[in-house]
A and B are shown apart, each in its own frame.
Chain A
Amino acid sequence: MRFDDRPSATLRVAVIGGLLFLHLPILLIFLYAFTTEDKSYEFPPPGLTLRWFAVTWNRPDVWEALELSLKVAAVSSLIALVLGTLCAAAVSRSRFFGRESISLLVILPIALPGIITGISLRSAFNLFDIPFSTLTIILGHATFCVVVVYNNAIARFRRLSGSIIEASMDLGADGFQTFRYVIVPNIATALLAGGMLAFALSFDEVIVTTFTAGQQQTLPIWMLEELVRPRQRPVTNVVAMVVVAVTFMPILGAYYLTAEKVARR
């Protein structure tokens, strides 16, 4: 939709207002990490300090939560990568009975509210006496991460022309060689982008995790505890800022990986 007329003043105001609404609250997080105030959320901050970064650095509970979160995110995004790619390959390459149901099945864990996924898994784990552990967290995370990989992979599979696969086969490569030398190089960046987004999704997930975690604390669970019963506000401020900074990286990375490919075509 191209048009050469000028946007009206009302539109500009609405756009700027909307974008400020989206971004100012997150920027505020960066300010509060430096505040000297440690009892309340006073604005403007009475003074700025770097002290809380050192305090946070020396907190074992924060490190443990971070470690668990990274571990869970790594394993779940790997599982999601395999499952999502297999699904996307099957759905994009052929038409078969129940194809629509497969896409629905993949999307469902994210289309239904997280609390439903969470309580379903919890009641199933309870019913079969599966103890809550890191494993149950991963089971939940991998399930809803599949859709992110699937979406990225299927978009790339659709652009991947079927003729280059046929060409590879005609030139004598078998299915595995075609996969290794033709398909993988073509879909690699999409998979990497999907994997990164799945990682970010898992790293941040709290709703399903509250139902599938036992005594373990992932970083979001740690934050939730602080939100419900604030005990160390300055440490929470710093953790919040670090989480924002850390999650931006995979998002930007995934963006450049997929945008670059589009521009080249």
Chain B
Amino acid sequence: MTAVAAVNSKTHGIWGRISDLMWRKPGLLVATLLSLPILWLGIIYLGSLFTLLLQSFYSIDEFSGMIRREFTLKTYGELLSPANFDIILRTFLMACAVTISAAFIAFPIAYYAARYARGRLKALFYLAVMLPLWSSYLVKIYAWKLILAKEGIVNWLVSELGLSFLLNALLSVPVIGGNSLSVSYVGTYLVLLYVWLPFMILPVQAALERVPTNLIEASRDLGGTQRQTLRIVIIPLAMPGIIAGSIFTFSLTLGDFIVPQIIGTSRRFIGQAVYAHQGTAGNIPLAAAFAVVPIVIMTIYLWVAKRQGALDAL
């Protein structure tokens, strides 16, 4: 049988020869394998990113509304105008708030799943994170529209429990409050947190699984309390996972334009500014410049994360 196969490969003609060539020159094999994906991603994705970058250096003529195709930093200058800078700052602060809260909610779940859950329970925990992570983004937002609506479940629950005064107190806080939850920053924050939270849990859990047991035992043997062990041993070792998770929550919040549009105030976030400037306003250069902001923030973020060794935890 083997002898037959060996003979066969010689008589394979052109295909056999190609196969032999690939085996002799692995570099050629890699190049062949990569050519198609590189062409696709290089032309369609990188090419598009490059045109976007290019357009951010163009400017728009105030009188004609036409795009002037010559190099200028004027459009980037416009980002620093008070109104535009407010948008950037607001988005950045929201991304920080969402990321920090997500880390706090995710850690106990990841910790329990990594440390206590076994067998079936472990599988259940995994699915309990995967299902919300993968379920439809718009349906999740829609669910929160139902929850936060004036006639919705939150207001119903609050009034049944006689706690309306608490909700009203929250809504009357300047800046974060509003007429109702669905038109306040609190609402935007809750929905963003909900939508991106699962992206934090998985990397944190992966990092916690890798914490060696003997280090925890050593900490206990040396008289560390549970709290001290957590603070001094476990959390620092899980940090790469937390940073890896925060890359997702931060990046996804920075670019979101649908959540703040549906649940939130009329004040814009970066994503909405990009959307509005490229759409009806037709100011592609400004939209492009706005889009470069998250790219710059994420590049700095990834650079810091890489130095912390968090990229291996992705």
| A and B pair up | yes
Using a CB–CB cutoff of 8 Å, the interface residues on chain A facing chain B are 1-3, 5, 7-8, 11-12, 14-15, 18-19, 21-23, 25-26, 28-29, 32, 40-44, 79, 82-84, 86-87, 89-90, 93-94, 96, 102, 105-109, 111-117, 119-124, 126-127, 139, 142-143, 146, 169, 171-177, 197, 200, 204, 206-207, 210-211, 220, 223-224, 227-228, 236, 240, 243-244, 247-248, 251-252, 255, 259
Please tell me the number of chain B residues within 8 Å of chain A, measured between CB atoms: 106
Q: A22-B129, A255-B130 are in contact. Are A3 and B45 (CB under 8 A)?
A: no
Interface of B is mostly: helix
Contacts of B3 in A (CB 8 A): 172
On whether the beta carbons of A86 and B37 are closer than 8 Å, the reply is yes
Q: A22-B129, A23-B128, A116-B255 are in contact. Are A11 and B112 (CB under 8 A)?
A: yes
Inter-chain CA distance A255–B128, complex, in Å, is 12
**Count of A-B contacts with CB under 8 A?**
283
Contacts of A26 in B (CB 8 A): 131-132, 135, 139-140, 143
Contacts of A116 in B (CB 8 A): 49, 52, 255, 291, 294-295
* Segment of B19-27, B72-80, B161-169, B173-181 in the binding face: B19-27
On whether the beta carbons of A227 and B2 are closer than 8 Å, the reply is no
On whether the beta carbons of A106 and B41 are closer than 8 Å, the reply is yes
On whether the beta carbons of A83 and B36 are closer than 8 Å, the reply is yes
On whether the beta carbons of B52 and A146 are closer than 8 Å, the reply is no
- Closest CB-CB distance, B291 to chain A, in whole Å? 5
Mark interface residues in B296-313 (1 if CB within 8 Å of A CB, else 0). Answer: 001000100000000000
Is B98's CB within 8 Å of the partner chain A? no
Contacts of B37 in A (CB 8 A): 83-84, 86-87, 106, 146
Using a CB–CB cutoff of 8 Å, the interface residues on chain B facing chain A are 2-3, 5-9, 12, 15-16, 18-20, 22-23, 26-27, 29-30, 33-34, 36-38, 40-42, 44-49, 51-52, 55, 105-106, 108-109, 111-112, 114-116, 123, 126-132, 134-147, 149, 151-153, 156, 194, 197-198, 208-213, 216, 226, 247, 251-252, 254-258, 261-262, 271, 274-275, 278, 284, 287-288, 291, 294-295, 298, 302, 314
15 A–B contacts from the bound complex (CB under 8 Å): A22-B132, A23-B132, A43-B153, A83-B40, A115-B255, A115-B291, A119-B274, A119-B288, A120-B52, A123-B288, A142-B40, A171-B5, A174-B16, A204-B137, A252-B127
- Closest CB-CB distance, A164 to chain B, in whole Å? 15
Contacts of B116 in A (CB 8 A): 3, 7
On whether the beta carbons of A3 and B115 are closer than 8 Å, the reply is yes
The answer, among A82, A93, A113, A251, for a CB contact under 8 Å with B134, is: A251
With a 10 A CB-CB cut-off, give which of B108, B111, B128, B141 has the most chain A CB atoms.
Answer: B108
Inter-chain CA distance A117–B298, complex, in Å, is 14
